[in-house]
Amino acid sequence: MMKRFTQLAVIAAFVTPVIAQADQAELTVAMADSIVYAKADAPDSCKQVDLTAEQQTALKNAFLDFTAAKRPLRRDVKMAYRDMKRVFSSSTSTREDAIASQANVGAKVTAMGKLMGDFHLKVFFDILTPEQRDPAMRCLEDLK
């Protein structure tokens, strides 16, 4: 589920032009999973988003902020799951320990979901224009 939400960051596939060191060709970076697409190879739906330079900068900054905030949350989620496994496998754990552990996992996952939801809202409602939303969503679908 986390990977699916993170795919929104693939929105950068129609956004962030960077210069290649070797041939100075314009590339597009899909920041999720560090995939690089040549702009010419991006799906047509991604090309239709047509972001301004200001939007490209705003999206890049939003993604970098999201990524920085996501790192500690991912670690927290992973640690909460490990703790829950430890509690469930321990012969000395009580039902109350297990309930507390589950609640901790739920809280960490909820925090991650909120962060992702806030990122989606920022991209689609603070950065993109209403006309760009549909092509952006189609781009995400085409990149799956």
Q: What HEC string does 41-92 produce?
A: HCCHHHHCCCCCHHHHHHHHHHHHHHHHHHHHHHHHHHHHHHHHHHHHHCCC
The pLDDT value recorded for residue 139 is: 85
Tell me how far apart the alpha carbons of residues 122 and 127 are, in angstroms, rounded to a whole number.
Answer: 6
Cα 51 to Cα 53: distance, rounded to the nearest angstrom = 7
Q: How many domains does the chain have?
A: 1
CATH of the domain at 112: 1.20.120.1490
pLDDT at 20: 33
Short-list 103, 144, 135, CA closest to 14: 135
Residue 46 CB neighbour total at 10 angstroms: 26
**Residues in the chain where the model's pLDDT stays below 70:** 1-41
Task: State the chain's mean pLDDT as an integer.
Answer: 78
Q: Which domain holds residue 28?
A: 2-142
The predicted pLDDT at position 53 comes to 86
The reported pLDDT for the residue numbered 39 is 56
Token code pair at residue 34: 């560090």
